[in-house]
Amino acid sequence: MLGFIMVILVTIPFSVYIAQKRQNISSKAIKSTTLSFEPASTTAKTGDTVTLNIWLDPGTGTTANQISFVKLAINFDKTKFTASSLTENIMEKIDEPQYDNTAGKASISLSIGADPANAIKTKTKIAILKLKATAETTPANPNITFDFANSQVLSIDNSSQTSDNVLLSSTIPATVTITSATSTNAPTSTPTSTPTPTSTLPNAKPGGSSGSSGIPSSSPLAPVCSSLDINGLAAGTAPYSLTFTATGNDPNGTINKISFNFGDAIEDLTIGGGIGTSSVSGQILHTYKTPGIYTAYAILTDNANNLSAQQSSCTKTVTVNSTDLSGSPIVTTPLPPPGDGEVMFGLGALGIIFTIIGGVLLFL
């Protein structure tokens, strides 16, 4: 009996020690995650709302993280901006966003939820920050940055536990130049009658024009499309549905229409998303039914029929694949369950062996 008790007393702490060692991470997640603002550089007028998309890039290849939680801590120039909103995108917010305009700070915590298959493994837009420009500035350094020390990213990849902090490898700030609200006002006099030039926009929407005022679309008075974002990966299997979000502004008027050219179809958005104001963020859903590589872009039309120029920041390339050889759609394999079955089986077998030894000693 004494021998049996001795074996049990040795086995229990030894098994607990082995289990704890298994819980420890043999190799920490590599610092490969990046937070960035897009656009990284833009201009606005006093009184305008500046919209910045926040992107999370977990890295690529074998060093990529699998992100489950993000805490965003943002600093901005309190003398030039006031925070108006910080909203989630794709991920779920854990708590309401916090704003401190007297200190120039904003924060929000985001999560993928309970399903580990939703872990972020590719570059994804996770939030949208909106600031109101309150004073003129021509900054020499970025005036909207991430608080590196207080931002946090958690990973659930195979080599780390849910509570591990994946330290950011880098952050990309934003620089916003603010001009006077009256510095670019259009003249009130009636312009002289001139022939309307033909639009020279590349791949402009059929029927578009450069404006009834005779000002070509490349004029500073034309609206500017600052970004075109999608709510998922840029590659998928047909039929593949994506939500496109176009943001932009007009320096001296209002935007009446957003024309989305998806590469296989053209659709106009004339209601919602800020249509009728100087700053828009319009969304539209499109489904690609045929495999191929498509170039999608957005063109803004203002109240003077001026068109925005097609540019790379407002263009996306979407790849739509067909099904595999068996006819089944290509799907993404979910994350494997955490833990190592072989190790746990070994611990169980070790416990059985100790029990048998204890039983033999007890019999003797």
Asked whether residue 96 falls in the same domain as residue 157, the answer is yes
| Shared domain check, 283 and 157 | no
**pLDDT value for 50:** 93
Indicate whether 220 pLDDT > 90. Answer: no
On whether residue 198 sits in a domain, the answer given is no
- pLDDT (average), residues 66-84: 91
At 218, is the pLDDT very low, low, confident or very high (cuts 50, 70, 90)?
very low
25 confidence band (pLDDT: 50, 70, 90): very low
Q: Is residue 332 situated within a structural domain?
A: no
Residues in the chain: 364
How many CB atoms lie under 10 A from the CB of residue 197?
13
CATH of the domain at 294: 2.60.40.10
Is 6 domain-assigned? yes
Contacts of 195 (CB under 8 A, 6+ apart): 214
Question: Given pLDDT bands bounded at 50, 70 and 90, which one contains residue 243?
Answer: very high
At 336 the pLDDT is 53
Q: What pLDDT does 22 receive?
A: 58
Same domain, 154 and 226: no
Same domain, 220 and 350: no
Q: How far apart are CA 156 and CA 306, in angstroms?
A: 48
- Whether the pLDDT of residue 187 is over 50: the answer is no
Based on the number of CB atoms within 10 Å of its own CB, is 275 exposed (0-12), middle (13-18) or buried (19 or more)? middle
Asked whether residue 189 is domain-assigned, the answer is no
Q: Do 14 and 61 fall within a single domain?
A: no
Confidence of residue 209 (pLDDT cuts 50, 70, 90): very low
CB 39 within 8 A of CB 227: yes
Q: Please write down the HEC assignment for all residues of the chain.
A: CHHHHHHHHHHHHHHHHHHHHHHCCCCCCCCCCEEEEECCEEEEECCCEEEEEEEEECCCHHHCCCEEEEEEEEEECCCCEEEEEEEECCCEECCCCEEECCCCEEEEEEECCCCHHHCECCCEEEEEEEEEECCCECCCCCCEEECCCCCEEEECCCCCCCCCECCCCEEECEEEEEECCCCCCCCCCCCCCCCCCCCCCCCCCCCCCCCCCCCCCCCCCCCEEEEEEECCCCEEECCEEEEEEEEEECCCCCEEEEEEECCCCEEEECCCCCCCCCEEEEEEEEEECCCEEEEEEEEEEECCCCECCCCHHHEEEEEEECCCCCCCCCCCCCCCCCCCHHHHHHHHHHHHHHHHHHHHHHHC
Specify the pLDDT at position 23.
Answer: 54
pLDDT in tens, 144-160: 999 988 888 888 754 54
Same domain flag for 132 and 113: yes
pLDDT category, 82, cuts 50, 70, 90? very high
Q: 361, 4 in Cβ contact below 8 A? A: yes
Query: How far is residue 277's CA from residue 302's CA, in Å, rounded to a whole number?
Result: 9
- pLDDT tens-digit readout, 285-306: 999 999 989 999 999 999 888 9
Tell me whether residue 102 is in a domain: yes
Give residue 205's pLDDT band: very low, low, confident or very high (50, 70, 90): very low
Of residues 175 and 214, more confidence is placed in: 175
Question: What's the mean pLDDT when you consider all of the chain?
Answer: 80
Do 175 and 43 belong together in one domain? yes
**Same-domain check for residues 287 and 354:** no
Contact present, 308 and 225 (Cβ < 8 Å): yes
Strand order in the sheet with 315-321: 235-237, 315-321, 292-302, 255-261, 266-269
- pLDDT for the residue 165: 58
Average pLDDT over residues 32-44: 90
**Pair of tokens at residue 320:** 């739509």
Placement of tokens 């072989």 in the chain: 342
pLDDT of residue 340: 59
What confidence category does residue 116 fall into, taking pLDDT thresholds of 50, 70 and 90?
A: confident
The predicted pLDDT at position 246 comes to 93
Share of the chain above pLDDT 70, in %: 79
Are 264 and 311 contained in the same domain? yes
Q: Is the pLDDT of residue 260 over 70?
A: yes
Is the pLDDT assigned to residue 201 strictly greater than 80?
no
**187, HSE (Cβ side, Cα atoms, 13 Å):** 6
Residues 37 and 173 in one domain: yes
Q: What is the mean pLDDT of residues 336-362?
A: 78
Which segment of 45-49, 137-141, 271-275, 333-337 scores lowest on mean pLDDT? 333-337
Start-to-end CA span in the chain (Å): 9
Residue 331 pLDDT class (50, 70, 90 cuts)? very low
Q: What percent of the chain has pLDDT over 90?
A: 38
Domain count, the chain: 3
**Is 194 domain-assigned?**
no
**Co-location of 7 and 52 in the same domain:** no
Do 52 and 163 lie in one domain? The reply is yes
- At residue 244, the pLDDT reads 93
With respect to residue 190, please indicate whether it lies within any of the assigned structural domains: no
| In-domain check, residue 196 | no
Distance CA 244, CA 109 (A): 24
Contact 52, 87 (CB under 8 A): no
State residue 86's pLDDT score: 92
Residue 214's domain comprises: 205-326
Q: Give 346 or 321, the one with higher predicted confidence.
A: 321
